[in-house]
Structure 1
Amino acid sequence: MPLTYVRVHPKNRLLAWIEDRLPWLTFLSAHTSGYYVAKNLDVWYYFGVLALVVLVNQLLTGIFLAMHFRPTAADAFASVEYIMREVPWGWLIRYLHSTGASLFFVVVYIHMFRSLMYGSYKRPRELVWLLGSLIFVVLMAEAFMGYVLPWGQMSFWGAKVIVSLFSAIPVVGDDLTRWIMGDYLPGDATINRFFALHVIALPLVLLLLVTVHILALHEVGSSNPDGVEIADTRGEDGNPVDGVPFHPYYTVDDLFSTAVFVLFAAFVVFFAPTFGGAFLEPENFRPANPLVTPGHIKPVWYFTPYYAMLRVIPGKLAGIAVMSSAILAVFLLPWLDRGTVRSVRYRGLGYRIALALFAMSFVLLGAVGAGVSATLIPRLFGAAADVTWIENAFGRFWTAVYFGYFLFTWIYTRFGLERTRPVPARVTFGTD
């Protein structure tokens, strides 16, 4: 719903003088106590705020890490070791940053899945979804460049493999690859460029996109589990009868969810910072060596679903096209889904099944990209099993399921095949 701008008049003379010239208190009031949110938001809505919490953690810890990091191929790995061993509390700052990167993707993936569940990408929130999708792409670039900076074995070889993918682009591929790396192999030029982008350029873009994303969301209003517009039912005071001010009701709620999340994050940081090699691989605790290739080159877990598509599709260019299309399809979702019902609570059985299969495909493709299948296939099919053939067939099947969700959604809603349940006129507090 539109924001309620009520001019604030502070009693303090200094604040009043500032407010007359820069109405920042009025702006804050409009986006907190003047912003009405549905009463029935559930636990899925916590993750939007948690993403903001992790972003602040990444920015603050990144600043302190940058104070001691040396962006050269000769000194990068040693400077990270210096931070871990010599800088007071440096190990904690480094683990807060590395664990925060993984937790960032955890909350972002859940946040995006919630949008799919409750149709938060549908009209009038298409721009909010597009901005969120752009944030996701920038976040992937930010995470990749940050992963390269410690200059361990997986950092070096990950940079070489990923940047070399650009060489598959016709005509300009080789020149583009050398331009990105600054050399024929990852080295000083590469790490300097990635450091500048990771520390300055991409965080600025990310902050801008997040700000615009929140402003756009507050202009059209948050969605809710029922997928109804609370602004359509107003009381005598002009405010939604099914809404409450974001402050203090949901700010207190968000403080509680943040406290629980911080406790979980603290447990991971103090007791399992590498998370069994998922957050930080053992290979990356060894300095980069261009002459020794790791046995299994794979990205961090949050890139593995897309990496799996790249692996199982024959031909480098075809693999890049499929991987890129998997991200592009997310941007097109508001126009692929022609259904009038937003929430999964009231959508047809076909859409529910398709959404469940989509989530399953993402998880299983992640397992393929992480190399889990290489361990499980011999156990399931015997030591003589053709791991490569089974893995490729498995990965291609779930890649087809991934894209099938978008195609099915378009056909299912475009040709009126969906049989939906009646949507209530006002919000409810049920689970189904």
Structure 2
Amino acid sequence: MSFPWANHYEPKHPLMQWVDQRLPLPRLVYNAVGAGYPVPRNINYWYNFGVLAGVALMIQIITGVVLAMHFSAHVTTAFDSVEHIMRNVNSGWMIRYMHMNGASFFFIVVYFHIFRGLYYGSYKAPREVVWMLGVVIFLLMMATAFMGYVLPWGQMSFWGAQVITSLFSAIPLVGETIRTWLVGGFAPDNATLTRFFSLHYLLPFVILGVVILKIWALHIPGSTNPTGVEVQGPQDTLPFHPYFTAKDFVGICVYLMLFAIFVFFMPNAMGHPDNYIPANPLSTPSHIVPEWYFWPFYAILRAFTINFLWIPAKLWGVIAMFASILLLFFLPWLDSSRVKSTAYRPMYKIWFWVLVVDVLILAYCGGAPAEEPYVRISQIAAAYYFAHFLIVLPILSFIEKPLPMPNSIAESVFAKAGHKDAAAAPAGAAAAPAE
């Protein structure tokens, strides 16, 4: 989508003119995140989480590169090298805690980003590719986080690798071969650690590349907005800078303050104490759990306890766990409602919050022991998770009667701002973005 009313980059200084003619990087930045990129004027603070995810990714890359300078990817020295970073490297404790908590904060903002997309219909046409690239980023994040969790080579690192990689053995015929190839042997060992370290270092840069593709894809149709109404003219937009860079700056400040609280005052609150015990293949922890951001999917994995149709329960669990994520790829076609924003879908709004509660229940059960009543609750919650996307959404798309929508973004903004004649509001009026 082109915006003919957008500001265009015109360098004034001779040096910038010379650079722009040979390497139009300033023009690219100006059009991507500057005054040359108009966005809907009613974007609210829920749209900050995309920028926050970018900030979290850069923190992970920078701290990860520094940690890699001191980490030893060998089973006999990995745990000690982490302790060396914590005790002997200048500010090593801070860098390690930033990286460790940064992973959790990265997933927090991404989960908010996903649910914001679900609420405002960001997955609908013409932004299907933007949504699918986001799901690809999420899958890459999960792979990167799992491999990073193995690197300290503590008790939970080793046994987490043992449990998760053993899932591949459930695949008929080729499962054990895949597991052996992935682990580099019959059990997690030095080959596992070295290849996981290599991939853990590489994948964040792959994620960064997909993020650039996602931003590129987003700039074609433009950003969505809380009303779900498409941009119809210059009266519906404001330049990204300075209006929304200021709003993003507020969000970044709040994010960094919360991040600093965890790094400096409660750095191990989101970790597991068993990972401060060196890995011991002969001593199994009483309760093996992955990191908290995997708990909903871990609960779905454990929800299958009975063999069905000659397929083992373990394989059903693996299929369901991966299907719960891959299902998001098909969301643009499962929800065929023409209305994007949940604000104008009263029936779907109820079911959306039911889904939020359902995912929280799955997360709680995923972190709980594999016993009753948690297994039974996981089964019910997992059943609803799939029913929400495969049954509830398609049915609501046909039977729901949406609320009246504004004719334009400007009309909804100026109406909230108190204009008597919202439709006649001047195109250049800089009303405050609706919250």
Normalised by the length of structure 2, the TM-score is 0.90
Partner of 1:228: 229
Q: Distance in 2 between matches of 1:403 and 1:70?
A: 42
**Letter paired with 2:362:** L
Q: Distance in 2 between matches of 1:323 and 1:152?
A: 25
1:324-335 equivalence runs, <5 A: 324-335=322-333
Partner of 1:209: 210
CA contact (8 A) 1:5 1:29 kept: no
Partner of 1:251: 245
- Aligned residue for 1:241, secondary structure, equals helix
**Letter paired with 1:299:** P
Shift in Å, 1:185: 1.0
Q: Distance in 2 between matches of 1:251 and 1:12?
A: 27
Q: Distance in 1 between matches of 2:245 and 2:80?
A: 42
Normalised by the length of structure 1, the TM-score is 0.91
Shift in Å, 1:249: 1.0
Partner of 1:173: 175
Q: Distance in 1 between matches of 2:334 and 2:67?
A: 43
Q: Is it true that 1:38 corresponds to 2:40 in the alignment?
A: yes
Shift in Å, 1:7: 4.6
Overall identity of the aligned pairs, in %: 46
CA contact (8 A) 2:45 2:247 kept: no
Q: Is it true that 1:272 corresponds to 2:263 in the alignment?
A: no
Partner of 2:86: 84
**Letter paired with 2:139:** V
Partner of 1:263: 257
Q: Any runs of at least 4 consecutive aligned residues in structure 1 with deviations exceeding 6 A, and if so which?
A: none
Shift in Å, 1:24: 1.2
Q: Distance in 1 between matches of 2:300 and 2:359?
A: 10
Shift in Å, 1:410: 3.9
Gaps of 5+ in 1: 235-239, 375-386
- Aligned residue for 2:130, secondary structure, equals helix
CA contact (8 A) 2:123 2:131 kept: yes
Q: Distance in 2 between matches of 1:57 and 1:21?
A: 31
1:276-315 equivalence runs, <5 A: 279-314=270-305, 315=313
Shift in Å, 1:43: 1.8
- Aligned residue for 1:146, secondary structure, equals helix
Q: Distance in 1 between matches of 2:391 and 2:338?
A: 16
**Letter paired with 1:343:** S
Partner of 1:2: 2
Once the two structures are superposed, residues 93-124 of structure 1 have per-residue CA deviations (whole angstroms, 9 ceiling, x without a partner) of 00000000000000000000000000010000
Shift in Å, 1:184: 0.9
Once the two structures are superposed, residues 233-281 of structure 1 have per-residue CA deviations (whole angstroms, 9 ceiling, x without a partner) of x2xxxxx202100011111111121011101110111111111xxx210
Q: Distance in 2 between matches of 1:332 and 1:322?
A: 15
Once the two structures are superposed, residues 270-294 of structure 1 have per-residue CA deviations (whole angstroms, 9 ceiling, x without a partner) of 111111xxx2100000110000000
Partner of 1:392: 375
Partner of 1:343: 341
Q: Is it true that 1:403 corresponds to 2:386 in the alignment?
A: yes
Partner of 2:367: 370
Partner of 2:404: 422
Higher mean C-alpha displacement, 260-269 vs 106-115: 260-269
CA contact (8 A) 1:138 1:206 kept: yes
Higher mean C-alpha displacement, 15-24 vs 89-98: 15-24
Shift in Å, 1:65: 0.2
- How many residues in Structure 1 have an aligned counterpart in Structure 2? 404
CA contact (8 A) 1:8 1:25 kept: no
**Letter paired with 2:331:** L
Higher mean C-alpha displacement, 287-296 vs 417-426: 417-426
CA contact (8 A) 1:5 1:26 kept: no
Partner of 2:314: 316
Q: Is it true that 1:361 corresponds to 2:358 in the alignment?
A: yes
Q: Distance in 1 between matches of 2:39 and 2:11?
A: 25
Shift in Å, 1:5: 7.5
**Letter paired with 1:309:** I
Once the two structures are superposed, residues 65-87 of structure 1 have per-residue CA deviations (whole angstroms, 9 ceiling, x without a partner) of 00000001111100000000000
Shift in Å, 1:413: 4.2
Q: Distance in 1 between matches of 2:227 and 2:62?
A: 37
CA contact (8 A) 2:236 2:408 kept: yes
Once the two structures are superposed, residues 146-186 of structure 1 have per-residue CA deviations (whole angstroms, 9 ceiling, x without a partner) of 01101000000000100010000011111110100001111
Partner of 2:187: 185
